[in-house]
Amino acid sequence: MSEAGYQARRFCLPHIELAACCYGPEEGIPVLALHGWLDNAASFARLAPLLPGLRIVALDFAGHGHSAHRAPGASYQLWDYALDALLVAEQLAWQRFAVLGHSMGAIVSVMLAAAMPERISRLALIDGLLPFTAEAEQAPAKLGEALRAQLALAAKRKPVYADAQQAVRARMQGVGAVSREAASLLVERGLQAVPGGYTWRSDSRLTLPSPLRLSRAQALAFARAVQCPARLLLAEGGLLQAQPDIAERLQGLPVEVQRLPGGHHLHLDDQAGALAVAHSLGPFLLAAADR
C-alpha cells in the first residue's frame, strides 16, 4: 500500500497497458471505477477510502493518467473504453462486478452494463448517464469535422506550465471546473516533466471531435437496457442538471436518481461532498453481495 492509501497496478492487455489505483481488501466486493474525460484514477482518491468492504480498482483510461496511449490510427471511442474495462475484469478474474462511473466513465458504465448484463451486478453513476448525441443528417458534417481535426493534429502543441501550480489553476477552470484540492489531486497524476516545465500526460487525440455519435434513440436504448440495480447521483450544480431536457431523458429509465448539492466533481471537490456520495453509494454497492 502506498502513502496515498492505494496499491498501484498495471494491466497488460493484448493491445495496450493500463494503470490503476486499487483500494480496499482483495476479498472485498469487486468494483471497477471509471473516471471522466481528461481526468484520471485520482478522481476517486477522496471517495474510495470512504467505501469499506469494497475492492475498488480505479483505472486510468487509455490515453489518461499513467496508462499508455493508443497506437497510431487507433481511436478513443466509448466502446473502446468499454472493451478495455471488460478486459481488465477478465485479468482480475471478476466474472461479475459492480461499476462506479463518473461523467464519461458513467456513460461507459451504462453502455457496458447494457451490452453485458450478465457481467455487471450494480451500476453507481456520478453526474453522468448518456453520451452527447447527433442525428443521422448530422453524420457527414460530424465526420468532416473530425477528419479535418485529425489532419491538423500534427501542428498542435500541448501547453507547457512553468510549475505544477500553473497547471492546477488551469485545471480549476477547465471543463467541469473543480476545487483547488481536486485539481491538485488530478494534476499530480496527470502531469509529466518536459523541457521548460510540465505538460499533460494525456494523449492530444482525446481533444479531437468524435467522428460518429450515437443518435438520441440509440443512447436511450442503452440506458433502457440496463438490467442491474442502478443509482445516479445528480449534482445540483453539475453538468447533467444544466441540460434543459434532463428531466425528459430520465423519465422512464431503470435508474434511481438522487440529487445532491455540489458541482460536477462533487465526490472529489471536498470532503463533505465525498462523504455525501459515500453515504449514498456505499450501502448501494455493498448490496451487490446479496445478489
Catalytically active residues are: 103
Contacts (Cβ under 8 Å, ≥6 apart) of 109:
34, 99, 100, 101, 120, 123, 125
Question: Residue 157 has which C-alpha cell?
Answer: 502543441
Contacts (Cβ under 8 Å, ≥6 apart) of 271:
46
Ramachandran region of residue 242, left (φ > 0), alpha (ψ -120 to 50) or beta?
alpha
Give the C-alpha distances (Å, rounded to integers) separating 62 from 8, 41, 114, 230.
16, 11, 22, 25
β-strand pairing of 230-237 with 120-126: parallel
